[in-house]
A = this chain, B = another copy of it.
């Protein structure tokens, strides 16, 4: 029976220590193993509630605030769905996307939007060295407000993508991998190729590859990162990947060849990102408001990209993976050759074969975000969900 399955999983969740309570969820590599387990198990339970038609609503009122400093469809929708699933209404703080506000303004605004707020979801991935700093500042501001009695509760800051990590994406990717391969334990020893791929655009954030390598190395995978010269990632997540790989019995290597990364891979994740140096320069330019310089930078960056159009996930490359059948992953939207662009990250036939898989991959995100809210806002998420189970309210009457 579905309810029994839920009960068993709740019992397993209850055995975990939840050290995320009353904290922020910013970087997976700063979270404990237990915290990750809590999030993954809670996400799984929430999905089970929905599949069973049971409402996991644990809030009766309260707000989820979204701050998007970059365009977003999927993550915005996933955040709003996650809030709704738990019973929170959502609001969005409108800011100029070009403004990098710090100091007084952040402290004040963070409190002004938090009087009845349970979670603040932030996307700030356009400015290298900025996004994570901004989220930390918002977290410290509401912490101050809560301790001073300004706020009746301490809203959690949930990272919806910063310059360092994209934890809700990486955790959704992990859940997808676990489902595909039959559990987290089955990931040990599996080879994952996180590789750069050509795209006729520039300025894509670095946080997805960074988040993926740091998280997957932790679960014993053999993670290979591949990119052309100049497309290096930030040191912090790479250090984390190395550390975790050593501890988990996995590995983390970097190569300059896409073919090498694909060789024998169980999973491939070919995706474009901007050169670190370009992103830094872009941040400097945007701060200085040098519009003309921005156009030049874009031209240079695209010209540089164009030197690597052969970094494409083709059928031929796929044949080099384990049995020619590696799982293809993408955070979407992908630049599909012949579909969304003339030449892109992936061949049409490869993408089409895995298209529904990438949709399923994305489908974990609302649950992962909801699980992060549960874990940060409830000392005992299992107890909260247990009460929702007892209440037995269907998501749809009839």
Contacts and interface: CB of A to CB of B under 8 A. Distances in A.
A57 interface: yes
Interface in A42-74: 50-51, 55, 57-63, 73-74
A235 interface: no
Interface residues of A, number: 72
Interface in A353-375: 355-356, 359-360, 362-363, 365-366
B60 A57 contact: yes
Contacts of A104: 336, 339-340
Contacts of A63: 80-81, 84
A61 B85 CA distance: 6
Given A111-B359, A360-B149, A58 B397 contact: yes
Contact of A113 (B73, B89, B378): B73
A315 interface: no
Interface string A111-145: 11101111000000000000000000000000011
Contacts of A148: 356, 359
A287 interface: no
B115 A363 contact: yes
A116 B61 contact: no
A380 interface: yes
Contact of A50 (B108, B152, B362, B363): B152
Interface stretch (A260-268, A289-297, A381-389): A381-389
Given A112-B362, A363-B150, A395 B59 contact: yes
Given A55-B61, A60-B397, 5 more contacts: A57-B61, A73-B93, A105-B340, A115-B365, A384-B396
24 contacts: A50-B116, A51-B152, A57-B397, A58-B396, A58-B397, A59-B396, A59-B397, A60-B397, A63-B80, A73-B109, A73-B112, A81-B115, A84-B116, A89-B89, A104-B336, A104-B339, A108-B332, A144-B356, A145-B359, A150-B359, A378-B396, A378-B398, A380-B398, A387-B397
